[in-house]
Structures are given as structure tokens and as C-alpha cells.
Chain A
Amino acid sequence: MNDDELLARLKSADPALTTSAPPPDIARLVEATLNTDTDTDTDSNTDTAPAPTTRPAKAAAGRGRRQLLGLAAAAGLLLLGGGIAGGIMANDGNGHPASAGPLTLTSASGSAGSKCVEPTPDRLRAYPTLFAGTVTSVKGAMVTFHVDYWLKGGGTGTVVLDSGVGEPERLAFSAGERYIVAAKDGVVPACGANWASADTLANFLRAYGK
């Protein structure tokens, strides 16, 4: 038996020829891979190290990526918020609730996410700016609140929140609804703005002695 004969015999016994397995769906596989992977940079040195039995876990991966985006957005907004924060603190300091223009806040992404747990007075106590307000208008990313109660801090009766990071999915505010909004340094943190039921509001008012 020479080389060619051996090769032919081996080839005819190729299990891939007789398999009944369906061909792989490349597009699905690519999508699953990209969605599974949340951190491309780690782990790149270990030889052939698949993540611990990771099977495409779409939901988890999506969340991971959103968190990354959120982080980036938050970093940017922190810079932006700095200037505004100065304004708010000045107000607090001199004890004169500003009668000039409305308080303007920006939001870290996801601040009005529907996945936030119900706000509690304790959780939001750390924020120097806290109010319960009713949304009077939503124009693009700009949400205007009529402040019903200042729980902490203070200011005008109107607050404008720039909720936009250009991502419509985050605009969870509806006009006419009441929200409890917390902010620090002019930035509403993730889950810092929450729709408030009458019970929640009563709870907050009690907690803050209003």
C-alpha cells in the first residue's frame, strides 16, 4: 500500500463525510460568541482557555456591555456635572434658594431604568439633592419636573433633567407621573430617578419629616 492508496483509504473513512450533524450556523455562532464575551481583553494569555463552560448567555452579555457603556457615559457626565455642582452647592451654602433659572441636572445612564428596585429613604439618603416631582414635559432628552417636595437640598420649583445620552431606551419618564429623584454634584446616578407610587411618596415624606 503506497502513500496515495493509504491517503485514499483514510479519506474514504473520514467521519465528517458520513456525519448526520447539521452544518454549523455561522451567523448564529458569531452572534452568540460576541454576546457571550463581555471582556475581550482579559484572559488572552492563557492558552486555549474558554471561559468556564460559557455557553452563549445573551442576557448576561448584553448587560455587561451596557454596563461598560454606562460607565463611559457616567465618566463623561461627571466632568460635565462638575460645573453644575458648583452652582447647586453655592445655593445650599448661602441659604438662598435660587430664584433664578431652574436647577439643571444631568443623569448617569440608566438613571431611570425600569429594573431598579423601589427607592427607599435610606438608600437615597446619601444624596444631597433629593426631591419628589411630577414630570411636566419630556422634550427629547430634556425632562422637566415640577418639584412637589424638596426632601433634601432645595431650589426652584422646576428642575430640568437632561436624561439623554442619546439613547432613547433610557427615556423612561412620562409626563404627569411622579418621580423621586436623587442627585449628587448635579448628576443623577444610576437608579437615582424612580417612579414613585403614592405609598412610596408617603414613605419618603414621613422619613424626611415633611
Chain B
Amino acid sequence: MTEQEARRRQQARFERLAQVVVEPLHRYLLRRTSADLAEDVLSDTMLVLWRRIDEVPGFGTASMPASASDPDPDDVLPWCYGVARGCLANAGRADGRRRRLVERLIRTQQHLPAVAPDHSDLHAALDALGALDREVVRLWAWEGLAPRQIAEVTGLTSNAVSIRLHRAKTKLAAQLRRKDAGRPGHKTDEGRSSQ
């Protein structure tokens, strides 16, 4: 009886967590893999979150809930991104080569002029970064995380994140400048106005 009750309580907690994290997690995965794989990995991620729900930082535990209200995304999301990152890596290990091919195809598709005319340079510049640097930059720009939170996702220290982020941004900017300079017919508003 009490066991059943406890499980129901946990389920309610999980639902509240899901309301907050599912959409950001889905976006996180869409930014890094195909839509199909994103969906699969999202399922995996939710399963891990359910099993480890008492470990989610800022969400309390079953016996001592942080609060009855919805969890704060800033508190819970970085940790959840970390889980999704691990699940994505797992899925990648499972069929890495196929996935990379799919990713490349997708990216090629995204680079078609009709879809995103200006972003191929950027993606190329991102690809030129090391995997971890790239992840740090993406977490900063797309997930909008602070270095402290990026540290939580990646397992680096905040300090290491700040250093990596700084270097990666410099490298990225240089790369883009070079690309822009090398293509006079494709002049952008570099250095003059902000987009």
C-alpha cells in the first residue's frame, strides 16, 4: 500500500520534471543529431531520469522534496543535459558510423541554400573545433548556459569551461573572419553592424 503510494508520488514528481525538461532536452538533441535518433535518445534519457530522479540536483528526494512546485529549469536542466549527452554518446557508440553519416547528410541538407543560406560557414567553423570545445560553445550559445552550468553538463570545472569557451570563441571568430574575407562576393556586415 505505502509502496504503491510512494510510487505514485514519484510518478507525479517525474511528471513535473518532464514538463520542465522534455522540450529543452529535445532541442538539445535536435541540435546534435537527426530527428529520429533525437527521439530515441530522448526516450532513453527520460528512462535514466526516472531511475535517477532522486539524484536530480535542486529537485530534492522523494522523502524530502525540495518543494511541491515545479522545479527551476536553471537548477535541473544542466544535470539533465548531462544525462542526455551521455545517452547520445551511448547511442553514438552503438552505431557511430551510421550516425555520423546521417548527421552529415542532415547537415548537407540544412546547408542547402533554401534552408539556411548563411550558416554553412558557421557549421564548418564549429566542425573545426575539437569535440569538447564544440560542445562547450554550443551549450553556451544554443542552450544559453553559464560556465558554471556548462561545467555541470560536461564534468569539467567552471574554470576549465571559461578558458575553453574563451579560446573556442576566439578561434571561431577568427575562422569566420577568414572565411568572410576569402569570399568577397559573400560580404557580410562583419565588424560594422550587429545582426
Which A residues have a C-beta under 8 Å from some C-beta of B? Answer: 1, 3-16, 18-21, 23-24, 26, 29-30, 32-34, 36-37, 40, 43-44, 47-51, 53-56, 72
Contact = CB atoms under 8 A, between A and B. Distances in A.
B141 A50 contact: no
A48 B3 CA distance: 26
Interface residues of B, number: 58
Chain B: interface secondary structure?
helix
Contacts of B122: 9-10, 13
Interface in B1-24: 3, 7, 10-11, 14-15, 18-19, 22-23
A23 B51 CA distance: 24
A5 B90 contact: no
Given A16-B27, A20-B35, A48-B87, 19 more contacts: A1-B177, A5-B194, A6-B141, A6-B169, A6-B172, A8-B195, A10-B141, A12-B118, A14-B31, A18-B116, A21-B26, A21-B35, A24-B39, A24-B42, A30-B46, A33-B18, A44-B51, A50-B45, A53-B94
Given A21-B30, A50-B87, A1 B191 contact: yes
Nearest to B174: A1
Contact of A16 (B45, B55, B142): B142
Given A4-B194, A11-B141, A29 B3 contact: no
A10 B48 contact: no
B46 A13 contact: no
Nearest to B45: A50
Contacts of B83: 48
Contacts of A13: 116, 118-119, 122-123
Nearest to B194: A5
Given A5-B195, A9-B176, A33-B46, A24 B23 contact: yes
Contact of A37 (B31, B40, B50): B50
Contacts of B110: 15, 18
Nearest to B28: A16
B172 to A, nearest CB: 6
Given A37-B50, A50-B90, A30 B27 contact: no
Contacts of A6: 141, 169, 172-173, 176
